Amino acid sequence: MEARAKSPAAQTAPGAGPARDRLQRFAPGIAVALAGLAPFLLAGLAWHRHEGEIDGAGLIGGCPMLEITGLPCIGCGGARAFFHLTHGDAAFLDYNWLWPLIALLVIGYGAVLVARAARGAEPFGHRVRSLGRRYATQPVKMAGATLAVLLVPWVVAFANLDAIRSG
């Protein structure tokens, strides 16, 4: 008798299959969305007001750079902005409001990746792949562009420095 060739499904490793393929397809989008959601969850569940200050897991107190140099870091006021926004307080605008905005954009991008996975498309489109190629082929230029982008939250921190210092 002739031996039959095993089907591709029968040749896969144990535990592999449609469910695992689906998880792998949706994983990038879910991971990106969870990364954007994490600071909101932390601010809502682990941080609380204690004697007028925001306290909780993962907070170190004041900014060491601000305390030592008098200059804010690019993240100064970000935790308080997340806290106030998560608790429905417009005071988040008095702090580094750009970080919650960025986190919301990251959540949105995670949703885009999940939608691409649902359509069966490649997770990352041509723009993201092109950007990756530019980082690989022009690292100095792209590092400069990245630093320029990081100046934006620093400018927001400087603009809200009085609230950050007193907060």
pLDDT tens, per residue, the chain with 167 residues:
455 554 444 455 555 667 778 788 899 999 999 999 999 999 999 888 888 778 777 777 778 889 899 999 999 999 899 999 999 999 999 999 999 999 999 999 999 999 999 998 888 888 989 999 999 999 999 999 999 999 999 999 999 999 988 87
How buried is residue 144: exposed, middle or buried, by Cβ count under 10 Å (0-12/13-18/19+)? Answer: exposed
The one-letter code for the residue type at 135 is Y
Confirm if 78 and 63 have CB atoms less than 8 A apart: no
Task: Say if 2 falls within a structural domain.
Answer: no
The Cα–Cα gap between 111 and 30 comes to: 8
pTM over 0.75, yes/no = yes
Structure tokens at 128: 């993201």
Residue 123 lies in a domain: yes
Identify the three-state secondary structure at position 6: coil
Is residue 127 in some structural domain? yes
- Using CA atoms, how far apart are residues 97 and 99, in angstroms rounded to an integer? 6
* Total domains in the fold of the chain: 1
Domain, as residue range, for 102: 26-166
Rounded distance, CA 167 to CA 160, Å? 10
CA distance linking residue 7 with residue 21, whole number of Å: 17
On whether residue 18 sits in a domain, the answer given is no
Residue 110 domain-assigned (yes or no): yes
DSSP lists the bridge partners of residue 48 as 55
In a domain, 30, yes or no: yes
Asked whether residue 70 is assigned to any structural domain, the reply reads yes
Q: Identify whether 3 is part of a domain.
A: no
